[in-house]
């Protein structure tokens, strides 16, 4: 009997092999294993089976490393000379896999065709060929018979229709939705969920065009590929014939290997121009999906979410689940079927039909709901999109909608009037509207009976959760006499609404014990009213970010019981979002099926020097000049420097306590370097307006910011300018005090000269209309001579940078594309000023990264630098290595950097990734030898965000593997292992079972409980719902005390987390871009500040650090207090920053108000806000008559909040000002409060 071993990643192979083997009878025995079978099978047992086989076949999908035991079986086959065939699934793998195979030449090609064509007849012929090859058959088998690689299938019309036959069957007046699925499913008859989708679409009056295909074009096999399919079967008469596409295909279809930042080839979906909706056929078993809060497991998240996003697909929910049937009695392989989930099938079909309805509805009849975020739910925070001038952007969007034929009525004359109109209606802030007026000011009111009717359709478990948390409907949030109130204003067919309160501001105790608090009744009623009563065709959530996508529920692959799913239901969702936040934008994509339209970051500029910083810069230069040219002046200048340093509290920044005659020159070098560092910091110069590139000075400054780092072979602009002037920019920057005797000036003065020349070049280029031909003349005019390299850089600005930046004008047009049911093309995401020019132009549906590629090799190098610099700083602070390090890691930063923080964590433990050479994906880990590492392996505790948990569970598994590898490594200097053994010993002494003791002793990765997001600390601080650090620690442990790893998910472990925090020697939260900093979001202080507060409350005293990789070529590490001081000087108190925000009226003032909230949060958690900082806030923001007067005019609620926060800081002992200053604050607070009461 001939024995064959067939290992396959293509599940339909088992069924075909079984049918074929049955026909050959007892002549042959086939043993088939799916990839899942191999994961469960022992390697030794498989090798024994392989050794007894006459032929061995591998049918791969994803490369050799993706197949368990592949390497061992291949080595055995080569040792024993067994016939081996390795079957590729992608053309680029052919040669390498051909070389691995022992069946070669024409026979390899023959076998490949048998396997590639697939199906019962081809597998029967393959088995006959094996018999013939082994001498068990006299006749040659038939040649491979190609099956159709692509075609139209319809459950009622036929299994493989010619296009014209299909067109004859459908009603040309009805909408048409294409459904793309794999040819292998068609071959195997695995079509139940396809049939279910067709039926669900047709039930809604929509025709379905189901198309099977083989994604790759391969001339040798005869497959024409997805591009041909789309451009031929989805078109008729040369024009798109479909209104939308539902794709059940995995991976990216427009990028062959979508690893980090790889450019996309031509996108065939772009010409088609219709929404592409991702329906997920999940590998995750339905039982595990249904029972878990995790939802889909890493393979599905990667293959059916992260990678399809590279195509601009709209991610939805699982419509089918891979179901393992009984083992095949003939081959022993597991038979697999994709079984539909009827409710989820109906969901995706309904969503697709709503996109079609939107597309087919004339603009004048479309109803659009524009949602303004409002967190916290205060008036000063209405429209709180980060980095965006929400009022002006909204106004321009509404004007453009009106031009495009939408019914926009009663539109005020400008953005300020528009927001005044909104504020005159009902808002979420009950503090400033008398109760008796709230009902009349509401845009709409939902009667109790209607609300109860809506609630009746919710799953019983959800109804129970709502009742348990909010009482009987309608509850007390945004209600009046049993009616639920809807805040917002109508402008014809456009409704501008305020996103409802999340609930933590009402349920004050929930932050202490209930991180997954369900939203109030009014939250669900608001979205249901939009769909059913207002009749919205589409919603547009304006800017980063709201609360919808963060509501409780599964992390990915939502069910009908998940709150984002319940709220948004089946409405198309268009979401303008800042381009540098791929993580949180991804949350919106995966948990609210958002069509992202990314927008530009605010214009960036150098902080420059002002007031005391400018005075000190002048004194430093005078000192250097006097030192070399006029020494008698030195004592007076030195005295003036010391006086100014102390007056401005810079002695604290620089760690000096008094005049040091012996070390003054050294101190001056540090002072001069610090002044340059602060002045050179990038800060925002105002806010972005949708569709508006920067103009005037802002354009010049932003171009300079975009060109600070090299772009491939194009050097950084100011470095090219410095070189043209005969200097190295890096050398000048390293020592601004350095004296150049031949020029009789300092390096700092030369740096200023470089900046002036750089700005002059850019200004002249702007004046020349970005004409590349003008660049040589510009350089000659600025330098007085030609300089080829600088010309090349300016030409790059003219040809690449400006056209991309000017493309920002299409942002509003891209919004209109989404609002019209058209396709929004994909694009990369990231921080433009970090060398990521490829993220421009904006106005695209951004994607993030391939999770399998993190950390990238480049990120590994930066992560090592971050670790080494941190250790050097810690050694300088404490004189020894830290034993226990706490790190905060977010998904967004890892997406922007390719995994720098992951790399740092691994390197601190003494572990490094192992990458696949061909793809760059991480396939494993290895310990760095102790002699190479040259230091102890540190014990690292990670607090990862809930978003990281959902998007990078594969990396949590990788990090958990690293912890286990290190804990098992017996060697000196292994601090993690030492702590592990001590903790196991302690637990055993307490009577804990050994297995449990060992498992808990390995917990190092902590995150939120299932269905929750955030660190919680911000909620209690925002609502002043805390007494002391112990309260903050309690909240931090409640929200973060869940352990994650490869063998467990969301294990409650608050006590273990508390032990880890109590032992921390250091904490780290790195920043990779100057486009956002620690005073820009409450998550910064909630996660990192919360960790510090909890550690101190539990008896620890960690030193806290902030890594800075905004320039990956020059990584820095500062203490948290140093970072706080630097930001106060560079941005918070900088007149340039305040001036930029004042240009944006209501929103500018609101953002300043919220910044003060964040600063207060840092003060409460980490105590890194010093008295001089509070005094600076008071002087710049409330005592400056121009600034205070401006706030009173444009957003008095913002001024009121700033005053309230400053007074709270005093009342809590966080700031101890002079009594007269406190009295001034109180009087001003009462004045503004009276003004607001009059206004309301």
The span from the CA of 532 to the CA of 535, in Å, is 5
Q: DSSP labels for 532-580?
A: III--SEEEE-SS--SGGGSSS-SBS--TTSHHHHHHTT--EEEEEETT
827 contacts 857 by C-beta, under 8 angstroms: no
User: Which is it for strands 745-746 and 739-740: parallel, antiparallel or unpaired?
Assistant: antiparallel
Q: Which of 570, 599, 628 is the last residue of a domain?
A: 599
Neighbours of 100 (CB within 10 A): 18
Q: Are residue 645 and residue 775 in the same domain, yes or no? A: no
Alpha-carbon gap, residue 629 to 746, rounded angstroms: 13
**Residues 372, 191: contact at Cβ < 8 Å?**
no
Does residue 140 sit within a domain?
no
Q: Tell me, yes or no, whether 803 and 901 share the same domain.
A: no
CB 387 within 8 A of CB 238: no
Q: Which residues, in sequence order, are bridge partners of residue 502? A: none
| Pair 345, 475 in one domain | no
Same domain, 760 and 629: no
In a domain, 621, yes or no: yes
E strand segments, 364-413: 368-372
3-state secondary structure of 527: helix
Q: Rounded distance, CA 670 to CA 657, Å?
A: 14
Taking the C-alpha atoms of residue 699 and residue 719, their distance in angstroms, rounded to an integer, is: 20
- 660 and 735 part of one domain: no
What are the residues facing 1006 on neighbouring strands?
943, 1043
Three-state secondary structure string covering 117-163: HCHHHHHHHHHHHHHHHCCCCCCCCCCCCCCCCCEEEECCCEEEECH
Token pair of 416, please? 């300020």
Alpha helices in 923-1024 (DSSP H): 930-933, 946-951, 953-968, 975-989, 994-1001, 1017-1022
b vs e for 36-70, b when ≥16 Cβ sit within 10 Å of the residue's Cβ?
Answer: bbbeeeeeeebeebbeebbbbbbbbbbbbbbbbbb
pLDDT, one tens digit per residue, over 626-683 is 999 999 999 999 999 999 999 999 999 998 876 665 688 889 999 999 999 999 999 9
Strand 884-889 with 1066-1068, pairing: parallel
Report the 3 state secondary structure along 857-868: HHHHHHHHHHHH
pLDDT in tens, 66-108: 899 999 999 999 999 999 999 887 555 578 888 999 999 999 9
3-state secondary structure of 366: coil
Residues 302 and 367 in one domain: no
* The pair of three-digit structure tokens given for residue 889, joined into one six-digit string: 């890691």
- Give the torsion sign (CA, 314, 315, 320, 322): positive
Token pair listed for 1009? 């409980």
Q: Which domain holds residue 1143?
A: 1133-1240
Longest distance between any two alpha carbons in the chain, whole Å: 110
Question: What is the reported pLDDT for 93?
Answer: 56
Classified as helix, coil or strand, 1042 is: strand
Domain count, the chain: 7
Is 820 among the domain residues? Answer: no
Residues 6+ apart with CB under 8 A from 449: none
Per-residue b or e along 208-229, where b marks 16 or more CB atoms closer than 10 Å to that residue's CB? bbbbbbbbbbeeebebbbbbeb
What pLDDT score was predicted for residue 661? 56
Q: Using alpha carbons, list the distances in angstroms from residue 142 to 84, 106, 130, 145, 247.
A: 21, 15, 12, 8, 35
Asked whether residue 176 falls in the same domain as residue 201, the answer is yes
Shared domain check, 1074 and 1189? no
Tell whether 8 is covered by a domain: yes
Q: Out of 809, 843, 862, pick the residue that ends a domain.
A: 809
Give the end of a domain, one of 336, 357, 378. Answer: 357
- Measured CA to CA, the distance from residue 318 to residue 307 in angstroms comes to 16
- φ and ψ at residue 1133, rounded to 5 degrees: -100, 10
Helix or strand holding residue 167 (H, E): helix 163-169
The whole-model pTM stands at 0.96
User: Are 756 and 792 contained in the same domain?
Assistant: yes
DSSP structural state of residue 205 = T
Paired strand residues for 924: 914
CA-CA distances (angstroms) from residue 382 to 373, 437, 1202, 1206, 1236? Answer: 6, 19, 16, 22, 16
Cα–Cα nearest to 946, from 458, 481, 552: 552
What pLDDT score does 362 carry?
98
1102 in the same domain as 1173: no
The string over 948-958, giving b where at least 16 C-beta atoms fall within 10 Å of a residue's C-beta and e elsewhere, is: bbbbbbbbbbb
SS (H, E, C) 671-705: HHHHHHHHHHCEEECCCEECCECCCHHHHHHHHHH
DSSP of 883-947, one letter per residue?
SEEEEEE-HHHHHHHTSHHHHHHHHHHTEEEEE-TTT--EEEEEEPPHHHH-SPBPEEEEEE-HH
Q: How far apart are CA 428 and CA 430, in angstroms?
A: 6
Considering the domain architecture, whether residues 329 and 432 belong to the same structural domain is answered as: no
Residue 446 CA to residue 432 CA, distance in Å, equals 23
Q: Are 623 and 667 in contact (CB under 8 A)?
A: no
Q: Tokens 């600005």: give the residue.
A: 797
Q: Given the structure tokens 């000659």, which residue do they identify?
A: 780
Count of CB atoms within 10 A of residue 1143's CB?
13
Alpha-carbon gap, residue 882 to 558, rounded angstroms: 42
Query: Would you state the pLDDT for residue 136?
Result: 87
Report the distance separating Cα 200 and Cα 197, nearest Å: 5
Strand partners, 1071: 1108
pLDDT of amino acid 46: 92
Q: How far apart are CA 1036 and CA 1058, in angstroms?
A: 10
Q: Kindly state the tokens that stand for 919.
A: 């793809």
The whole-number pLDDT of residue 39 equals: 86
Distance CA 336, CA 936 (A): 48
* Planar angle of CA 266, 894, 290, nearest 5 degrees: 85
Q: Helix 1185-1194 vs helix 1145-1166: angle between axes, to the nearest 10 degrees?
A: 110
**Residue 261, pLDDT score:** 39
Sheet holding 2-8, edge to edge: 28-34, 2-8, 55-59, 84-87
In this structure, what token pair is assigned to residue 826? 């994909």
Residues of the chain with pLDDT under 70: 90-93, 256-265, 658-662
309 DSSP 8-state letter: G
Instruction: Tell whether 643 and 780 lie within a shared domain.
Output: no
Specify the pLDDT at position 65: 79
At 1071, give phi and psi (nearest 5°).
-125, 140
Beta strand extents in 306-456 (DSSP E only): 314-327, 334-340, 368-372, 444-446
For residue 58, which phi and psi values (nearest 5 degrees)? -125, 130
Q: Give the span between the Cα atoms of 106 and 88, in whole angstroms.
A: 16
* Contact status, residue 616 vs residue 645, Cβ threshold 8 Å: yes
8 A C-beta contact, residue 606 and residue 681: yes
Q: Which residues pair with 890 in a beta bridge?
A: none
* Cα torsion 941, 945, 946, 952: sign: negative
């Amino acid at each position: 009997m001939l024995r064959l071993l067939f290992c396959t990643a293509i599940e339909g192979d088992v069924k075909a092999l079984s049918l074929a083997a049955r026909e050959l009878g007892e002549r042959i025995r086939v043993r088939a294993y799916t990839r899942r079978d191999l994961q469960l099978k022992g390697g030794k047992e498989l090798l024994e089976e392989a050794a007894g086989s006459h032929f061995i076949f591998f049918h791969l999908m994803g490369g050799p490393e993706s197949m368990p035991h592949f390497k061992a079986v291949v080595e055995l086959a080569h040792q024993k000379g067994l016939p081996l065939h390795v079957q590729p699934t992608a053309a680029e793998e052919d040669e390498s896999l051909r070389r691995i195979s022992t069946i070669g030449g024409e026979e390899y090609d023959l076998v490949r065709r048998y396997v590639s064509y697939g199906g019962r007849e081809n597998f029967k012929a393959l088995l006959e060929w094996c018999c013939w090859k082994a001498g068990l058959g006299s006749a040659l088998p038939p040649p491979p018979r190609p099956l159709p690689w692509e075609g139209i299938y319809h459950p009622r019309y036929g299994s493989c229709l010619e296009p014209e036959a299909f067109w004859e069957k459908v009603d040309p007046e009805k909408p048409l939705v294409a459904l793309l699925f794999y040819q292998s499913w068609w071959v195997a008859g695995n079509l139940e969920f396809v049939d279910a989708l067709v039926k669900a679409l047709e039930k809604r009056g929509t025709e379905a065009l189901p198309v099977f295909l083989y994604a790759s074009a391969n001339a040798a096999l005869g497959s024409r590929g997805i591009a041909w399919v789309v451009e031929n079967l989805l078109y008729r008469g040369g024009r798109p014939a479909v209104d939308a596409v539902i794709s059940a295909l995995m991976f990216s279809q427009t990028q062959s290997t979508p690893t980090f930042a790889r450019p996309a080839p031509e996108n065939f979906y772009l010409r088609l121009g219709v929404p592409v909706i991702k329906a997920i056929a999940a590998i995750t078993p339905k039982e595990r999906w249904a029972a878990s809060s995790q939802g889909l497991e890493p393979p599905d998240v990667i293959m059916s979410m992260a990678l399809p996003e590279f195509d601009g697909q709209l991610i939805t929910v699982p419509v089918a689940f891979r179901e393992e049937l009984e083992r095949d009695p003939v081959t022993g392989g597991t038979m697999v079927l994709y079984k539909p989930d009827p409710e989820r099938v109906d969901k995706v079909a309904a969503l697709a039909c709503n996109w079609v309805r939107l597309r087919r509805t004339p603009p004048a009849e479309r109803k659009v709901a524009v949602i303004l975020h409002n967190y916290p739910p205060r008036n000063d925070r209405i429209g709180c999109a980060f980095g965006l001038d929400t009022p002006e952007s909204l106004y321009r969007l509404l004007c453009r909608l009106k031009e495009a034929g939408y019914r926009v009525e009663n539109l005020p004359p400008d953005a300020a009037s528009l927001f005044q109109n909104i504020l005159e209606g009902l808002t979420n802030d009950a503090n400033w509207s008398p109760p008796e007026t709230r009902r009349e000011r509401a845009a709409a009111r939902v009667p109790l009976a209607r609300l109860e009717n809506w609630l009746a359709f919710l799953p019983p478990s959800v109804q129970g959760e709502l009742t348990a948390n909010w009482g009987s409907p309608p509850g007390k949030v945004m209600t009046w006499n049993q009616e639920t109130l809807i805040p917002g204003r109508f402008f014809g067919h456009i409704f501008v609404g305020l996103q409802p309160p999340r609930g933590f501001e009402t349920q004050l105790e929930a932050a202490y014990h209930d991180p997954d608090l369900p939203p109030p009744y009014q939250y669900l009623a608001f979205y249901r009213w939009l769909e059913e009563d207002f009749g919205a065709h589409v919603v547009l959530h304006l800017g980063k970010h709201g609360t919808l996508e963060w509501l409780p529920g599964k992390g990915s692959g939502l069910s009908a019981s998940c709150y984002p799913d319940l709220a948004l239901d089946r409405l198309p969702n268009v979401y303008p979002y800042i381009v540098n936040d791929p993580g949180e934008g991804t949350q919106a994509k995966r948990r609210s099926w958002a069509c992202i339209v990314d927008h530009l970051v605010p214009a960036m500029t150098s902080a420059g020097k002002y007031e005391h910083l400018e005075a000190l810069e002048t004194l430093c230069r005078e000192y250097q000049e006097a030192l070399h040219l006029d020494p008698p002046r030195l004592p007076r200048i030195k005295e003036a420097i010391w006086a100014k340093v102390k007056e401005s509290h810079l002695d604290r920044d620089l760690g000096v306590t008094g005049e040091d005659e012996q070390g003054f020159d050294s101190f001056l070098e540090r002072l001069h370097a610090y002044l340059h560092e602060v002045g050179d910091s990038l800060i925002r110069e105002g806010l972005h307006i949708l569709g508006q590139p920067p103009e005037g000075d802002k354009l010049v400054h932003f171009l300079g910011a975009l060109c600070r780092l090299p772009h491939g072979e194009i050097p950084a602009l100011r470095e090219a300018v410095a070189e043209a002037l005969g200097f190295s920019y890096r050398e000048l920057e390293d020592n601004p005090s350095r004296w150049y005797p031949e020029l009789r000036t300092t390096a700092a003065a030369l740096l200023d000269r470089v900046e002036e020349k750089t700005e002059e070049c850019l200004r002249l280029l702007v004046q020349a209309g970005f004409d590349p031909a003008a660049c040589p003349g510009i350089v000659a005019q600025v330098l007085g001579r030609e300089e080829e390299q600088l010309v090349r850089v300016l030409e790059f600005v003219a040809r690449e940078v400006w056209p991309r930046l000017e493309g920002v004008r299409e942002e509003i047009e891209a919004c209109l594309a989404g609002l019209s049911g058209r396709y929004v093309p994909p694009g990369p995401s990231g921080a433009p000023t970090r060398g990521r020019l490829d993220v421009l132009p904006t106005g695209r549906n951004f994607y993030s990264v391939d999770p399998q590629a993190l950390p990238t090799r480049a990120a590994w190098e930066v992560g090592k630098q971050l670790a080494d610099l941190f250790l050097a700083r810690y050694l300088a602070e404490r004189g020894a290595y830290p034993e226990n390090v706490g790190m905060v890691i977010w998904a967004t930063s890892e997406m922007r950097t390719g995994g720098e923080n992951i790399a740092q964590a691994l390197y601190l433990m003494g572990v490094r990734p192992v990458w696949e050479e061909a793809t760059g994906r991480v396939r494993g880990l290895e310990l760095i030898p102790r002699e190479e590492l040259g230091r102890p392996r540190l014990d690292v505790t990670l607090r990862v965000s809930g978003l990281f948990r959902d998007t990078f569970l594969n990396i949590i598994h990788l990090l958990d593997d690293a912890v286990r590898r290190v804990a098992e490594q017996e060697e000196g200097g292994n601090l993690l292992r030492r702590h592990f053994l001590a903790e196991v010993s302690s637990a055993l002494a307490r009577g804990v079972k050994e297995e449990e003791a060992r498992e808990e002793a390995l917990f190092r990765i902590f995150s939120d409980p299932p269905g929750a997001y955030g660190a919680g600390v911000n909620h209690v601080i925002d609502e002043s719902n805390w007494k002391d650090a112990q309260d903050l620690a309690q909240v931090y442990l409640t929200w973060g005390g869940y352990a994650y790893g490869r063998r467990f998910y969301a294990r409650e472990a608050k006590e273990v987390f508390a032990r880890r925090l109590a032992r921390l020697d250091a904490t780290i939260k790195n920043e990779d871009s100057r486009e956002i900093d620690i005073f820009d979001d409450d998550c910064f202080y909630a996660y990192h500040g919360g960790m510090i507060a909890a550690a101190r409350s539990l008896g620890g005293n960690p030193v806290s650090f902030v890594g800075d990789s905004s320039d990956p070529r020059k990584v820095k590490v500062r203490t948290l207090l140093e970072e706080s001081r630097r930001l106060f000087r560079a941005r918070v108190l900088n007149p340039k920053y305040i001036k930029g925000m004042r240009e944006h009226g209501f929103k500018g003032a609101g953002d300043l108000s919220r910044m003060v909230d964040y600063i207060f949060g840092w003060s409460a958690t980490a105590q890194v806000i010093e008295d001089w900082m509070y005094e600076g806030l008071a002087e710049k923001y409330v005592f400056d008559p121009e600034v205070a007067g401006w706030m009173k005019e444009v957003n008095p609620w913002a001024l009121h909040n700033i005053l309230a926060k400053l007074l709270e800081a005093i009342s809590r002992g966080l700031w101890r000002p002079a009594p007269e200053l406190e009295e001034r604050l109180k009087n001003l607070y009462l004045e503004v409060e009276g003004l607001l009461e009059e206004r309301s």
